[in-house]
Structure 1
């Protein structure tokens, strides 16, 4: 009896995660309520989110974790395969390609990349992403290696290029997901998409810095 209830609870949690991901992907974080998520997950109890997760933020955390665990495995694989003297482009590949590869593995339609983009752009939930980043050992190792080979930048340049990198990765993934759902460019392999993004980010990071005018 207990095992049956445990399995049912696990199925309900997964249904709530799937519903939250799709609704937030399509409508944004603030436009979606816990009650709407419960209804979309087929739950008669309007308080199913609170019962199974505690809060909508906790549900968002669980949704991020569901995807970040397999993405971390791909990050670790990229780290294990990196050459003996990695440079800026090599580290950017480690940063970008696991996420694009994972998106390719999911198939279409998917909602994770757009969910991630909307969570990233909402000031109330951006902190949840930084929590996840701080818990990812492969990601922290990639970032440490990346910053270790960068040229020396003024603080404001580093901050802006960091923000640009985050926006490019997050929104490009959402665009790829959206295009896949629409059936655009069906024969384009994820490896090619990865190289396009890596080329662009490498060019940005190695671009010259205009000195501050006196």
Structure 2
């Protein structure tokens, strides 16, 4: 009986995670309530989110963890394969490739990239992303290598280019995911998509910095 209840609880948690990911991806964080998530997950108990996760923020954390765990595996592979004298482009690829490869492996339709973009855009939940980033050992190692390979930047230029990098990666992945649902969509190999993004980000980071007026 205990095993049966454990299995049922795991299935319910998975249904809530799946429902939350899709609803938030399509409508945004603030527009989706815990009650709506419970209903979409097929739960008659309107308080299923609270019962199984504690809060909507905790459910969002669970969605992020469900995806970031396998992405971290790909990040470790990227770190293991990086050359002995990596340049800026090598580190940018190490940052971008695991996420695009993971997204490509999910198949369409998927909602995680759009979910991530919605959570990133909502001031109330952005901190949840930073929690995940700070807890990812391979991501921290990639970022340390990346910043160590960069030329010297003024603080204001570094901050703005950091923000641009985050926006480009997050929103480009969301666009790739959204386009995959279109009936006329012609798939582009994930390796090609990755190189296009890496080229653009590398060019941005290696662009000269104008002197302050």
Count residues in correspondence.
213
In structure 2, distance between residues paired with 1:204 and 1:191:
20
- The superposition leaves residues 114-143 of structure 1 with CA deviations (integer Å, 9 ceiling, x where unpaired) of 000000000000000000000000000000
In structure 2, distance between residues paired with 1:183 and 1:4:
41
Partner of 2:54: 54
Partner of 1:42: 42
Correspondence 1:162 to 2:162? yes
Correspondence 1:148 to 2:161? no
**TM score, norm. by length of structure 1:** 0.98
In structure 2, distance between residues paired with 1:110 and 1:56:
21
Alignment CA distance shift 1:184-1:67 (3 Å): farther
**TM score, norm. by length of structure 2:** 0.99
Range that drifts further, 22-31 or 178-187: 178-187
- Displacement, 1:188? 1.1
Correspondence 1:126 to 2:126? yes
Correspondence 1:23 to 2:18? no
Uncovered stretches (5+) of structure 1, i.e. residues with no partner: none
Correspondence 1:102 to 2:122? no
Whether contact under 8 Å (2:19, 2:41) holds in the other structure is: yes
Uncovered stretches (5+) of structure 2, i.e. residues with no partner: none
